[in-house]
Structure 1
């Protein structure tokens, strides 16, 4: 399952892997001397859980052959190998760990490009009848220029320690859907970082469920009809607001 907009790369990359990279070629075989990235996530609530690490390896040995839609010319790009790595909980402590090989090895000499980590609600009923878990939050950490080509990544030197705060966000959809979901809302739902010399990532998120923000969608598209965002203090966002003001939530 894809966890959010910033993780669309894992949802779309599968379609780009072509026959030049066989299933056997995508098998990882880290060499004995590979460096590892150790992951530690502290689960902040009994209602949340870390999702499996979503990892992307790339290869300049086993490339993808693509065709230009403009002139029909064939060209090559790096091979892609998206995988998921489960985390393991340490002694029922709420701390979940895993490790990722920087050098994936194998016939294609796979190299770590980027990965996603984070948390999501697994139980929503405690904050309202009929609620279902919504989108996740977390971090995208890149290790090469291929992953950071959009320019949105901030470089971090050494090990990474993050402790962002999140709030509940209930979204009631009325147009083409009757689903009401419970998601986590942060200053940025996915933080984008470029790792430099990183061997450990600690993600210790905080969750404050005393401040619930609500989104109430429109039942019908018509002039002058807008979705409504209601903040924890009862105030309503200006008409046309699409994304809640995190600073307003966090300040009160």
Structure 2
């Protein structure tokens, strides 16, 4: 596949100084590929994948906080839409490890995930917030967003629990969002240097909805109030849900059934 990448991806090219050759990707026909598969629950949708390639040949000059110049690897970020596999709930995308071209691009990382397809099921004007994301790093570079929490050998299989989190913000411009509350905040971060297959299965517990409401007045002691699925209410200074509490409520409920 000379590059299903160049045909199906939308490339956002970074202008790299000091390198006048063609910056385009051109993976060899025999380049190894990494397959990313997402199992998408009915109420969710697969998000567009953000794929990062880096080059040690096509570099550019950046500046640190003191204004001192330093050399950085060149990079390209591509968008790739995962494709549904037949009538299944599996969505898949393939990406070449060797990006080829004059710059000898190499796959660095991929960001992907799931989101609510129809946020308004939780109320009028509700928008999707965050959560349900995964970042996988395939080299030794630090990603531009998120961080790495786990390092794995070989292929990567991820199965995580999530809960609907409906949040109202009253200060400033009013907004109401629904997010996926999980073990991480927005992204689960992994380093998988030798992976050739990445599988992600989010398990959404739709019957255990968490609600939160921010304070109407900004002053000391006014915190966001969280109402958990069992009716318990906490306003203890947290800005994100207590995932362990959500898990404990669900498991206790399920054990009684």
Instruction: Compute the TM-score of the two structures, normalised by the length of structure 1.
Output: 0.86
Partners of 1:217 and 1:238 in 2: CA distance: 10
Contact 1:39 1:201 in 2 (8 A): yes
Distance 1:92 1:163 in 2: 21
Asked if the contact 1:35–1:101 (Cα under 8 Å) also holds between the matched residues in 2, the reply is yes
2:239 maps to 242
**Superposition pairs for residues 200-215 of structure 1, below 5 Å?**
200-215=197-212
| Residue 156 of structure 2 corresponds to residue 160 of structure 1 | yes
The separation in 1 between residues aligned to 2:111 and 2:133, in whole angstroms, is: 7
Deviation per CA, 1:118-173, whole angstroms, max 9, x where unpaired?
Answer: 10112022233332222241211101111369973422111111111111001101
What does the per-residue CA deviation read over 1:22-66, in whole Å, with 9 as the maximum and x for residues that have no partner? 7951x2111122110011111112x31111111111100000112
1:78 to 67, 73, 77: 73
1:131-142 aligned within 5 A: 131-142=126-137
Measure, in 1, the Cα distance between the counterparts of 2:236 and 2:147: 31
Aligned to 2:9: none
Secondary structure at the counterpart of residue 243 of structure 1 = coil
The separation in 1 between residues aligned to 2:169 and 2:182, in whole angstroms, is 20
SS in 2 for 1:152: coil
Shift of 1:251: 1.4
Name the stretch that deviates more: 78-87 or 188-197: 188-197
- Measure the CA separation in 2 of the matches of 1:105 and 1:97: 22
Instruction: Assess, with a 3 A threshold, how the Cα gap between structure 1 residues 21 and 153 changes in structure 2: closer, same or farther.
Output: farther
Matches within 5 A, 1:161-200: 161-188=157-184, 189-200=186-197
Is 1:105 aligned to 2:105, yes or no?
Answer: no
Query: Is 1:17–1:80's contact at 8 Å kept on the other side of the alignment?
Result: no
- After superposition, the Cα gap between the structure-2 partners of 1:151 and 1:169, relative to the gap in structure 1 and judged at 3 Å, is closer
Q: In 2, are the aligned partners of 1:173 and 1:218 still within 8 Å (CA)?
A: yes
Q: Look up the SS of the partner of 1:157 in the other structure.
A: coil
1:208–1:175 CA distance, 2 compared to 1 (3 A): same
Answer with 188-197 or 211-220: which moved more: 188-197
Which 5+ residue runs of structure 2 have no aligned equivalent?
A: 1-11, 250-257
91, 113, 133: which is aligned to 1:96? Answer: 91
Root-mean-square deviation (CA, aligned residues, Å) is 2.3
Post-superposition offset of 1:17: 4.7
Distance in 2 of aligned mates of 1:90 and 1:15: 29
TM-score by length of 2: 0.84
- Residues 66-119 of structure 1: per-residue CA shift (max 9 Å, x gap): 23452x443211111111111111123221111011111112111111111210
List aligned pairs for 1:58-69, cutoff 5 A: 58-69=54-65
